[in-house]
Structure formats: structure tokens, C-alpha cells
């Protein structure tokens, strides 16, 4: 077999993500609903053609800003430790989702890749890595080549991963999930008796664990690491091989240590998070509401029937309301959070039978048994994923794991369901007429269940948003998606028959077409990126943007929505982050006289109407921007875009009473001020643990407090504030030691492989 013939699955799965991402790849658009954000002030762009999706907007307001900062840091030779722009300054590395030390981020930043194509490249890369990993896992478990390629496509371009593409920390985290399971499987079987094989598998599991954690989304990372151990545990039980489970635990532990340079600062900063609360019965009720309910599972086989991100509600397209109609029945429900469907190919699962793996060239009975046990390991991952996503098992995490109460929806564990069902569908590739008939029956059953869900379950659902005709929403969306649903069902049935008669290439093409048509092609939101850095601005300026509204269903009449100012590189007092310091929240509460967050999003921090101007000035704010003139602030200046700017008299970010203070350096790890005079220099940027100060290179005390204040002796001086996140030194030491250990394992694996040439077969995928 030629090299090209062997590599066609990898090439196909590497190119396939370009289809759902085509607007970003071909037209150069940015991932995320940029057109929706552009409607807001001060840009006041035309109404967006699609519908508002509050979760997708985070791809613009959070992910893009974080990637922009991290890329710039590595491009300019800095460490991405601190974000000086939102929230009067806030940690960048320690918010985790910035992925400051994630290797692909470092590479793209060092290469100087602009942020917009860089984000697209990252999305494409991770969808491809996810798909190729699922293919390799399916092949190792015994799937035929076409079935394994289908498994890779079902996971790599699943509606789940594609709908999270704009929120890059999710695909960058879960893309390594199948690779970790593959490495865990490699710790069992005949090859596990070889020290070199054990070393390679352990190193692979450590690498997958580290990349999962460095990807940035710790909740998804925790689900993935749990899946690695569940897989290994289930195989160990089936084979009575406790040694393999011990090795898997060691591999995961080594991977955690490898990622410690990022993880330890995150855990340290998490102690200060405003979301950190002890688990309570009332909190569990709110948390468990995010678990899957029956209404969210209506689209498990045909995701288009529930509406896709950015798609307007079919029942009222002129209102541009979100088309994901389960969101009107369940507060907080979102397509991306519940996209567990792998498309109509789910029907192939009905063709699945208990595996009886056939021996491959050079494969012994032990490896054969390990493959059979691996099937049950995958089933165990599926069962655990369902238990977490549906709620019962999540109670163990909520009450038993410190800090878990601050995580997001338990429905996110659905990623384990998506991967497991994708690989199982690949294993169920029809090989005879009986299997094809079972697959066709499965498609008929799924169609019937979809109809039942749309026309029976939806009208019976209570609405948290008022007396809305949810049944009408559901039936209108079903009518609009009917061609795709019917085409998907027919294509899968035809594919099953073709596969059973040996026409595997045509069957695979038919299945891929069915899968893409029923969800992934419409699940990625894109738009023209319009944010660009402002010209040279006074570094002593800090702005406050007055806002109050934020909505789940419609774009809010917002002004410079949170973190847009970060992309402009202008400091502001508000902001939006995954972790916000409690003292920062208390500061904004004192400024507003109330909670600074809008009711629908506890991580957004606004300056709201009725703020205390004196407290705002004391926080270093020198400009207040609003959509209308504000009383009590003196005459304002009207700016283009219907914006009013009021100047606040006050010290700005840096001040020295009786002298002068000028910010001359504002970096991701330090800030320098040139001063003339003597007395207390105050920099009104947050003074969090990790900041130290020096004057003309000599360390000086930096007292604890909200702001950074040092006593400056008379004369002209340069005061430098340096930041190292708490835990960075410990984490770096652990990572260095783990890197040496992984290097040693790789060396052992290479030496062992060089001594004995193993036969090349499908198991070596």
C-alpha cells in the first residue's frame, strides 16, 4: 500500500474542518458574532443578519481579546502574566482560559501571526486534532478504516466542537481527549509487557494530559482527565490488570505536573475568585438546572431541529430572536452547551454488537483481549458522561471537589458522550445485510423520537421566559429543517446498505454528507472583525463605559461592551473575565451602590447609571463614556456614534502629590513610572499578591491594599512594579522536573523500539 493510500484518512480529517469554518477560512471573517457586537455603540453598525447568541458573543468579548494579548506578549518577548486593561488590571495567565503557556499559542505569537487568522488556524487545528484522534482510537479498538474515518468526522466536526469554535479554550482543551484515551489503552495488552511500550504510552498520556490542562478550560479538562482514568480503570477491571491503572494514574499525574507552570497560578488565583462559594443545597439546585433535560435531547440525532447558533427563530424571523427554541423553555439553555448529537449517523449504533475482534498481523491474544476490554472502557466513559451531563454524578463533584461549585453547566460533560458515541458508531460500521437492516431500523426510531420530542415534548414544556408558544417555535423550526432531516435519514439508510455490500467509499461519502447537512455546517458563527487599536493614548487615562443592560435573546443597547476596550488597548474600570477578584467586585459595588454585574451574567462588571463619581475618580477613571449626557459631571463632549464623553477631575492611574508621575512602561509583567518629587506614589491599578516594587532598581516595600503605593524619596526616580503570579515559581519547577521525566520516558521508548522491530499493522495507528 502506498504512503498516500495509508495517509488518506489523516488528510481527509485534517481538511474536513474547513467546511464548517469556510467563511473564516475563505473570506477571512473572524470567528464569533462580530456583526452582532458591531450593532452596539460607538460603532452603531447595521442590524446583523443573524440572531443574537449570548454565549457565542463571548468568542468576541473574551476569547478574541485574550488571544490578542497572549499573541502580542509572545511576539514581543514578554510573559503573558498580567492584563493591564480591564477591571483596573487583572491576571492574564491565572484566568486559565487565556492559555498563556499553551504551546500553539506560543508558536503563533512568536511567528507574529495576526490575531484574526490566528484564531481561525487554532480552531481548524483543534478540530483536525480531535478528528484524527477519534479515528486513531477507533482503529485501535478494531473499527474498519471507513468506520474509523466516520468516527473521526463525527467528533472532529461535531456540532458540539464546531459551535464552541469561537470560544477557543474549549476545543483546545477537548481536542486531546481521544489521544489521552488512546494512550490509556496502550498501557494494556501484550505490548504493555515491554518497558519501551509502557514508557511510550505513559509519556503519551502525560503529554495528552498536559495539553488538555494548558488548553485552558479547567472544567472540560477535569472531565477529560476523569475519562482517561475511567477508561484505564474499566480495562483494568476487565483484565484484572491493576498495574495498568497504576501506570495510567502515574501518567495523568505526570501530565498535571507538566502543566503546573500554568495550573498552579490558576489554582492560587482561584482562591480570590468572586465565584468561589461553598456548596449548598440551594446552590446545587441552581447548578443542577444546567444538566440535560429531555427537551435538550430532542436534537440528539438531527441537531438542526432545535435551531443553530446565530439562526433566527423560524416562527418569527423578522424579530431576529435566537432560533434555539429549548432556550425559551429552560433558563440558560444554549445550543453549544447541549450539542450532544453526532448527527443521523447515530443510527449506526443500532448495528453494534459485542465486539469479537479479529486478530491482526503480528497481534497476540493479549492485545486482542485488550482491544475487547477497550470497548467496555469506552462504554464506561459514555456511561460516566451521561451520568454527569444528566445530573446525578455531578452531585459528587459539586459537593465533593473543592471549588467545583463555581464551575459551569454540568451538561458540558456531554463532550464525553459525543466522543464515545462517535467512536462506537465507527465500530458499528455495517459489514453484512443484518447490520444494515438494524441501522435502517435505528434511523426510523430516531426519526420517530425526534417527531415525538418536537410535537409532544416541546408544547408541554414550561417557560421561564413567560407565556411563550414554545410548541409553535419547535414546529416552525422542524418544518424549516425538514429537508435536511429527511435527507440525513435517507443518506444514512442508503449508506448502511452500501457498506453491507462492500461499497465502503460511497457509504462513507453518504454518511459524511448526512452528518454535515444536519448540524455542523451551520454551527460556526463568523463576522467581519472591526476592532482595531486606537492611536497613541495617554497611559494615565482610564475610562468608564456606562452600561446596565445585557440580554440572552437580543443584543443589548450597550456602549463599548466589556473587553472591547482591551482589544483597543485602553484601560477601563469595568470588564469581563472568567475569574474576577473579590476585592475588584467590591470596589465596583461601592462605585455603583449595587451589584455591578447584569442579572444574566455574573462575570461581567459594569459601571451602571447612578454611579458615585467621586469613588469612580478615586479608582483612577479620567473619562466617562455614555450614550447620553450625564448630570452632575459638567459639560460633556459629543463624539461620533452618539457617544458623550465627560472628563473627571482626578489623579488618573498614577499620581504623586506635590510632584509629577508619568507611566513610561506598561507591560504584561511590569509597569514603570518616572517621578519627580517625593512622597507617596500611587498607581491605581489593582495590587494583588505577586506584585513587588523597586526604585531605581532597589527593592522597596509594597504594602497590601487596593492600589499600589510606595514612598518615593526626593528627586527624579524610576519606580518599577514587577508581577509574578503566586505559584509560578513552584509550577515552573514542577513542570521542569516533569519535562525531564517525560524526556526520559521518550528516550527509553526510542531505545527499546530500536532494539526490536515490531510488525506494522492497524494496531500501530
What pLDDT, in 10s, does the model give residues 523-541?
A: 899 999 998 887 667 899 9
- Specify the pLDDT at position 4: 64
pLDDT digits (tens, 9 = 90+) for 402-448: 888 888 889 999 999 999 999 999 999 998 899 999 999 999 999 99
Asked whether 244 and 660 are in contact (CB, 8 A), the reply is: no
Banded model confidence at residue 759, pLDDT cuts 50, 70, 90: very low
Three-class SS state of 543? strand
Q: How many residues does the chain have?
A: 765
Q: Which of 77, 131, 75, 79 is nearest to 100 (CA)?
A: 79
CB-based contact 187:232 (threshold 8 Å): yes
The answer to whether 652 touches 619, Cβ cutoff 8 Å, is: no
pLDDT of residue 761: 35
- The pLDDT of residue 756: 47
Give the Å distances, CA to CA, from 480 to 306, 317, 493.
11, 12, 22
| Mean pLDDT computed over every residue of the chain | 90
Q: Which residues pair with 654 in a beta bridge?
A: 683
Q: How far apart are CA 314 and CA 291, in angstroms?
A: 26
- Highest average pLDDT, of 43-57, 370-384, 676-690, comes from 676-690
* Closest to 96 in 3D by CA, of 131, 70, 71, 128: 70
Which H/E stretch holds residue 36?
helix 34-38
C-alpha cell of residue 21: 469554518
User: Does residue 221 carry a pLDDT above 50?
Assistant: yes
In Å, what is the CA distance from 327 to each residue of 109, 295, 310, 317? 37, 10, 13, 16
Residue with cell 446498505: 497
pLDDT > 90? residue 696: yes
Lowest mean pLDDT of 403-407, 466-470, 610-614, name the range: 466-470
How many Å apart are CA 610 and CA 630, to the nearest integer?
9
| Global pTM exceeds 0.85 | yes
Q: Is 697 exposed, middle or buried (0-12, 13-18, 19+ CB in 10 A)?
A: exposed
**CA 538/CA 579 separation, integer angstroms:** 28
| Contact present, 694 and 731 (Cβ < 8 Å) | no
- The residue ranking higher by pLDDT, 317 or 376, is 376
Is 171 within 8 Å of 218 (Cβ atoms)? no
Phi, psi of 709 (to 5 degrees): -130, 130
- What are the domain boundaries of the chain? 543-653, 655-723, 728-764
CA distance 290 to 331: 9
Q: What is the pLDDT of residue 191?
A: 56
Share of the chain above pLDDT 70, in %: 94
Confidence (pLDDT) at 752: 67
Phi and psi at 595, nearest 5°, equal -60, 125
Q: Is the pLDDT at 139 greater than 50, yes or no?
A: yes
pLDDT band at 757 (very low <50, low <70, confident <90, very high): very low
Burial class (CB in 10 A: 0-12, 13-18, 19+), 638: exposed
| Structure-derived torsion over alpha carbons of residues 185, 394, 97, 515, reported in degrees to the nearest 10 | 60
Cis peptide before 590 (omega within 30 of 0): no
Digit-coded pLDDT (tens) for 601-611: 989 999 999 99
Could you give the CA distance from residue 695 to residue 676 in angstroms, rounded to a whole number?
Answer: 12
* Range from 298-307, 467-476, 507-516 carrying the lowest mean pLDDT: 467-476
Residue 222 has pLDDT above 80, yes or no: yes
Neighbours of 95 (CB within 10 A): 24
319 pLDDT band, cuts 50/70/90, is: confident
All three cell numbers of 483:
429537508
Give yes or no for residue 708 having a pLDDT over 90. Answer: yes
Choice among 57-61, 172-176, 249-253, 760-764 with the minimum mean pLDDT: 760-764
For the cut 50, the answer to whether the pLDDT of residue 235 exceeds it is: yes
Phi and psi dihedrals of 431, rounded to 5? -115, -5
Which of 87-91, 485-489, 650-654, 760-764 is predicted with the least confidence, judged by mean pLDDT? 760-764
Amino acid at each position: 500500500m502506498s504512503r498516500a493510500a495509508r495517509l488518506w484518512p489523516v488528510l481527509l480529517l485534517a481538511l474536513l474542518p474547513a467546511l464548517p469554518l469556510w467563511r473564516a477560512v475563505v473570506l477571512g471573517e473572524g470567528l464569533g458574532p462580530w456583526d452582532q457586537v458591531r450593532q452596539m455603540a460607538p460603532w452603531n453598525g447595521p442590524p446583523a443578519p443573524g440572531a443574537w447568541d449570548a454565549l457565542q458573543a463571548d468568542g468576541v468579548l473574551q476569547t478574541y481579546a485574550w488571544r490578542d494579548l497572549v499573541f502580542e506578549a509572545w511576539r514581543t518577548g514578554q510573559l503573558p502574566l498580567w492584563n493591564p486593561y480591564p477591571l483596573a488590571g487583572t491576571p492574564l495567565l491565572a484566568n486559565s482560559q487565556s492559555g498563556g503557556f499553551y504551546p500553539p499559542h506560543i508558536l503563533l505569537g512568536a511567528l507574529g501571526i495576526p490575531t484574526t487568522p490566528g484564531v481561525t488556524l487554532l480552531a481548524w487545528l483543534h478540530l483536525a486534532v480531535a478528528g484524527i484522534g477519534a479515528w486513531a482510537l477507533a482503529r485501535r479498538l478494531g473499527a474498519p478504516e471507513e468506520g474509523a474515518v466516520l468516527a473521526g468526522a463525527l467528533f472532529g466536526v461535531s456540532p458540539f466542537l464546531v459551535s464552541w469554535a469561537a470560544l477557543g479554550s474549549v476545543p483546545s482543551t477537548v481536542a486531546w481527549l481521544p489521544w489521552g484515551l488512546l494512550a490509556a489503552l496502550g498501557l494494556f495488552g501484550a505490548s504493555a509487557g515491554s518497558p519501551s511500550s509502557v514508557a511510550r504510552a505513559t509519556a503519551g498520556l502525560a503529554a495528552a494530559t498536559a495539553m488538555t490542562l494548558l488548553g485552558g478550560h479547567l472544567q472540560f479538562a477535569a472531565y477529560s482527565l476523569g475519562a482517561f482514568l475511567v477508561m484505564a480503570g474499566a480495562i483494568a477491571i476487565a483484565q484484572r490488570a491493576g498495574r495498568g491503572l497504576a501506570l495510567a494514574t502515574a501518567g495523568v499525574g505526570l501530565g498535571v505536573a507538566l502543566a503546573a507552570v500554568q495550573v498552579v497560578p490558576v489554582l492560587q488565583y482561584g482562591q480570590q475568585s468572586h465565584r468561589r462559594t461553598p456548596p449548598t443545597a440551594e446552590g446545587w439546585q441552581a447548578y443542577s438546572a444546567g444538566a440535560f433535560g429531555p427537551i435538550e435531547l430532542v436534537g440528539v440525532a438531527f441537531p438542526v431541529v432545535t435551531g443553530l447558533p446565530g439562526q433566527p427563530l423560524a416562527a418569527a424571523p423578522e424579530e431576529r430572536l435566537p432560533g434555539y427554541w429549548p432556550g425559551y423553555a429552560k433558563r440558560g439553555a444554549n445550543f453549544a452547551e447541549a450539542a450532544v448529537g453526532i448527527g443521523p449517523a447515530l443510527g449506526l449504533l443500532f448495528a453494534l454488537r459485542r465486539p469479537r475482534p479479529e486478530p491482526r498481523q503480528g497481534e497476540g491474544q493479549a492485545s486482542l483481549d485488550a482491544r475487547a476490554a477497550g470497548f467496555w472502557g469506552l462504554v464506561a466513559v459514555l456511561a460516566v458522561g451521561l451520568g454527569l451531563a444528566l445530573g446525578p454524578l455531578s452531585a459528587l463533584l459539586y459537593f465533593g471537589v473543592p471549588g467545583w461549585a463555581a464551575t459551569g453547566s454540568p451538561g458540558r460533560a456531554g463532550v464525553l458522550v459525543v466522543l464515545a458515541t462517535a467512536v462506537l458508531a465507527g465500530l458499528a460500521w455495517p459489514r453484512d445485510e443484518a447490520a444494515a437492516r438494524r441501522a435502517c431500523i435505528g434511523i426510523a426510531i430516531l426519526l420517530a423520537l425526534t417527531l415525538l420530542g418536537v410535537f409532544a415534548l416541546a408544547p408541554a414544556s414550561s417557560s421561564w421566559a413567560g407565556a411563550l408558544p414554545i410548541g409553535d417555535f419547535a414546529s416552525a423550526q422542524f418544518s424549516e429543517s425538514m429537508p435536511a432531516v429527511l435527507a440525513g435519514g435517507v443518506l444514512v439508510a442508503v449508506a448502511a446498505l452500501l457498506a453491507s455490500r462492500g461499497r465502503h467509499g460511497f457509504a462513507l461519502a453518504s454518511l459524511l454528507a448526512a452528518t454535515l447537512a444536519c448540524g455542523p455546517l451551520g454551527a460556526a458563527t463568523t463576522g467581519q472583525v472591526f476592532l482595531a487599536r486606537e492611536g497613541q493614548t495617554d497611559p494615565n487615562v482610564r475610562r468608564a463605559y456606562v452600561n446596565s443592560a445585557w440580554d440572552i435573546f437580543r443584543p443589548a443597547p450597550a456602549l463599548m461592551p466589556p473587553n472591547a476596550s482591551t482589544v483597543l488597548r485602553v484601560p477601563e474600570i469595568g470588564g469581563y473575565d472568567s475569574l474576577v477578584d473579590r476585592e475588584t467586585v467590591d470596589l465596583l459595588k461601592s462605585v455603583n451602590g449595587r451589584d455591578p454585574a447584569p442579572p444574566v451574567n455574573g462575570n461581567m462588571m459594569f459601571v451602571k447609571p447612578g454611579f458615585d463619581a467621586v469613588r469612580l475618580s478615586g479608582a483612577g477613571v479620567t473619562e466617562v463614556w455614555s450614550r447620553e449626557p450625564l448630570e452632575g459631571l459638567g459639560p460633556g463632549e459629543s463624539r461620533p456614534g452618539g457617544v458623550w464623553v465627560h472628563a473627571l477631575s482626578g489623579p488618573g492611574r498614577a499620581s504623586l502629590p506635590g510632584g509629577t508621575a508619568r507611566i513610561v512602561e506598561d507591560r504584561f509583567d511590569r509597569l514603570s513610572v518616572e517621578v519627580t518629587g517625593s512622597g507617596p506614589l500611587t498607581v491605581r491599578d489593582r495590587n494583588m499578591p505577586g506584585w513587588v516594587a523597586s526604585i531605581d532598581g532597589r527593592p522597596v516595600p509594597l504594602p497590601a491594599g487596593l492600589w499600589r503605593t510606595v514612598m518615593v524619596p526626593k528627586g527624579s526616580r524610576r519606580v518599577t512594579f514587577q508581577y509574578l503570579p503566586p505559584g509560578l515559581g513552584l509550577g515552573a519547577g514542577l513542570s521542569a522536573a516533569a519535562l525531564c521525566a517525560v524526556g526520559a520516558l521518550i528516550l527509553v521508548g526510542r531505545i527499546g523500539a530500536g532494539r526490536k522491530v515490531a510488525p506494522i499493522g492497524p494496531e500501530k495507528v
